Amino acid sequence: MKRKIIKIDEEKCNGCGLCITHCDEKALEIHDGKARLIDEGMCDGLGLCLDECPEGALSVEEREAEPFSGGKLWEDLVQKETLIMEDYLRKMSESGDTEFHKEYGNFLKLMKDDPNGPVYPDLQAPSFGKMVPGAANFPQEDKKQSELTHWPIQLHLVDPMSDIFSGKDVVLAADCVAYMLADFHKMFLKDKKLVIACARLDRDVELYTEELRLMVDVARINTLTAVIMQVPCCSGLLRIAKEALQKAARKVPLKAIVVSTGGEVLSEEWV
């Protein structure tokens, strides 16, 4: 099947091993002084190890590869504390890839069918309910004014060279963010321009780097703020923003804001 998988540039790799410590799937090992992908089926393709490489030797490519199989990982995790396993499963479920659910479900079935194996409760989708700030119903008179000043807002659809962005502070928000924050407009959009994207599900995300670069060099935006979710796959959007600014001739400040799945701002910093 064609899917995303890690790629290692052996010329850049210095064998430091930092990527290995950040690979939960244990898909990477050091051999002959270089990091190696030892099993395609163990790599989930999320790219959480990318930012740990000081040499920039790691990247994610889309190619024909074995399907991701979490079986070996589940077997390893089941030997550890249940909370550690649940934390990993939550991260995987938040990635939006249903294959992770299927793999875990297959593993649970295997364990339950084994009379000598442990039995675990069925995996359930997280229930947010009133955990999310602003989830309660508001009376009609509490309607708030939208701060959105332009349309469209999807990054593939906007003209990155438009005068709309000229000299403005631009917010690059992950698709899910606005649904998690009741006051998204008030918090982030006042006097700013918005574009939205998903690094995991959108097609041709490599084009986003050039579109953001054009905003910087042609539209001459003032600042760029990336608002992302805390889930692993969302870090790709911040990485795209960083790459765009590195390629741009102009230098503009980049702020990173991370939002939790409970609807809280976890961090806000200039990067």
* Domain parsing of the chain, residue ranges: 1-67, 70-120, 145-270
pLDDT of 123: 35
Does domain 145-270 sit in CATH 1.10.10? no
Q: 1-67, what's its fold? A: Alpha-Beta Plaits (3.30.70)
DSSP H/E element including 12:
none
Pairing of strands 254-259, 223-229: parallel
The residues pairing with 92 across neighbouring beta strands, listed in sequence order, are none
pLDDT of 125: 40
222, 252 Cβ separation under 8 angstroms = yes
219, 250 Cβ separation under 8 angstroms = no
Among residues 25, 32, 45, the alpha carbon closest in space to that of 88 is found at 25
pLDDT tens for the chain, 271 residues: list them.
Answer: 888 999 999 999 988 888 887 787 778 888 888 999 988 888 888 787 888 788 899 999 999 988 877 655 555 555 544 445 555 555 655 666 556 556 555 555 555 455 444 443 343 444 444 444 445 554 555 567 788 888 899 998 888 988 899 999 999 999 999 999 888 998 998 889 999 999 888 877 888 999 999 999 999 999 999 999 988 778 889 999 999 999 999 999 999 999 998 888 999 999 9
Write out the two tokens for 266. Answer: 């976890």
Write out the two tokens for 40. Answer: 């395609």
Longest dimension (CA), the chain: 68
pLDDT of 143: 65
pLDDT of 37: 92
pLDDT of 102: 60
